[in-house]
Amino acid sequence: MLHLVTGGAGFIGSHLVDELVSKGHRVRVFDNLSSGRKEFLSGHSANDVELHQGDLLDLDSVVSSMQGVEMVWHLAANPDIRLGTRVTD
């Protein structure tokens, strides 16, 4: 089964990736790497884990990353609330 983990290069997401791979699943990670790190995924082969670098605000990237996916784990989050706040006049 192919799983998609948004935020999978983050601290928590990478631990979920580890668990899924240990259970024999293939994992696609979707992360913009603003706070996640490729190093958190370095212990896995390219056959088990593939990294798609992109942003959830880019619909084409999201749609592309979801091709063939059977399960989505949404863990992407903005760790700095100030960056996620929009001020409108």
Q: What is the pLDDT of residues 44-63, one digit of tens each?
A: 999 999 999 999 999 999 99
For 63, other C-beta atoms within 10 Å of its C-beta total 9
Q: Which of 48, 20, 51 is nearest to 37 (CA)?
A: 51
Q: Strand, helix or coil at 87?
A: coil
Instruction: Flag whether the pTM goes above 0.85.
Output: yes
Residue 82 has pLDDT above 90, yes or no: no
Assign residue 43 a region (left: φ > 0; alpha: ψ between -120 and 50; beta: otherwise): alpha
At which residue do the structure tokens 């293939």 appear? 26
Burial-class residue 59 by CB neighbours within 10 Å (0-12, 13-18, 19+): exposed
